[in-house]
Amino acid sequence: MTNALMQPIQDSINKVCKQGLLPEGQSLEDLEAKDDLELVDDYPHFDKPIDKLSENPSVMALIHMILQKAIYASASEVLIEPVGGDLRLRMRVDGLLKQMDRMSAGLHFPLLANFKAISGMDEKEQNLSQEGRFRIVTKDNQERDFYVHLLPSAQGENIFLRALHKTPDLLDLDKLGIETSLVKELKELSLKPQGLMLVSGPCDSGKTTTLYALLKNFDSNKQSIMTVEDPVEFSIPGFNQVDIKSKPGLSYPKALDSILHQDPDVVLVGDIRDSETLALSVKAAVTGRKVLASLQAPTAAGAIVRMIHMGLEPFLVTSALSVVVCQRLARRLCEYCRLPYTVSEDLLDTFGLKKLLPFHDGQFYKSCGCERCLKTGYQGRVGIFEILVLTKEMKDLFSKNESQIQGLAKTFGMKTMREDAILKAAAGLTSLEEVLRLTTADS
């Protein structure tokens, strides 16, 4: 490799090491020699040996450094963008974007070429968006899949990577942070032969994880379980999973209509995006099938109202829908450096904690920052939930108004997302700052 390209790569690696996000003293030679990450060639697009994918091993070393950095920081997304004559490297850690580095713009094309090669994309295409995947294996034999998307912009192609985690614990309903009594109720609802179980929330709120945690309650040996996703994030043995991204011309309505001809017992719809997908999902739910689906909505009551606004008749909502799980992901306080403090009486009244926990002593925790949490004060995330179960009594008093639905649900014992977040803050899992950032005050 020429010195003109070699030096920016070495400079970028040195800058990363100085930030403390990789072990000190890491050099380009170390990265080239290390076997911490191994690219796996078991994807269909690998038609040549991995060691022949790049003529520049040092560029692959830089890619390995970026991936090591993402894994070490537990980043869910990596963004490499040409900005203002530089190449900006950002990562989404615990839900928040953080700039990690600004690299030489001369690295843009070599990085693009290599990401296209390992992800199975057209290396010559520069004017259209592309997507692909690749898989790596860490030194402790953990497989990590990365979804890659390239988007042409005015300054060049943006590189976007999303980590697709395969950790089994993420798919356990008991470990998501849902109240024990509600976990039991969700499991009981999933055992009913038909009905729609809806998971709502914004992007990157853990909806797919919750859907798959619910799917684990079904027996794939005795039931036909089919999923329609965009893309398939978790590969589960025994499930028939349809990835609409991998099939040209395939959409949620087309895929859902096709799989219903095969009479599945359980259907998972990765995202209800339009009225046609909603209508097909509800049709399946009222004709003897169990349907699990996600819908983007800010609250559980808001998800019901959105279904009506998408053209669904209210009587079909009450006929099909059994529960709405609305959720967010709050940053979890680092247990090694969190600091206790006492909240004033006025603030306790503001948050309504005395009503939720009458005997709480007012002690909460705040973030501090240490080496273990990369000086952020937070490490990982915890789910906060609002679970609305449509009982017969609620269906008899059904309303089209969001605030009325919310009030009715609270009358029947539903905890709002703000209340669940406050309880988790009181338990020391997250901070009051996170509560205010992610939730709105209850009306």
What pLDDT score does 282 carry? 96
Q: Look at the block and give the residue holding tokens 């038909």.
A: 194
Q: How far apart are CA 130 and CA 152, in angstroms?
A: 9
Q: How far apart are CA 16 and CA 100, in angstroms?
A: 7
CA atoms within 13 A on the CB side of 141: 0
> For the domain with range 168-438, which CATH number is right: 3.40.50.12280, 3.30.300.30, 3.40.50.720, 3.40.50.300?
3.40.50.300
Q: How far apart are CA 423 and CA 411, in angstroms?
A: 19
Closest CA to 319 of 252, 236, 375, 398: 398
Domain with CATH 3.30.450.90 in the chain: 3-164
Local structure of 141: helix, strand or coil: coil
Which are the contacts of 264, defined by CB distance < 8 A and separation ≥ 6? 224, 225, 226, 240, 289
Rg (CA), the chain: 24
The yes/no answer on whether domain 3-164 falls in CATH 3.65.10.10 is no
pLDDT tens-place string over residues 33-49: 444 667 665 555 545 44
pLDDT tens-place string over residues 213-248: 999 889 889 999 999 998 887 778 888 999 887 677
What pLDDT score does 348 carry? 82
Backbone angles phi, psi at 364, to 5 degrees: -125, 180
Parts of the chain with a pLDDT under 70: 1-37, 39-57, 166-170, 246, 443
How is 238-251 classified by DSSP, letter by letter?
T-EEEEGGGSTT--
Q: Mind spelling out the 3-state secondary structure of 371-405? A: CCCCCCCEEEEEEEEEEEECCHHHHHCCCCCHHHH
What pLDDT score does 25 carry? 45
Which two three-digit tokens encode residue 293? 């689906």
Q: How far apart are CA 418 and CA 328, in angstroms?
A: 10
Contact between 306 and 182 (Cβ < 8 Å): no
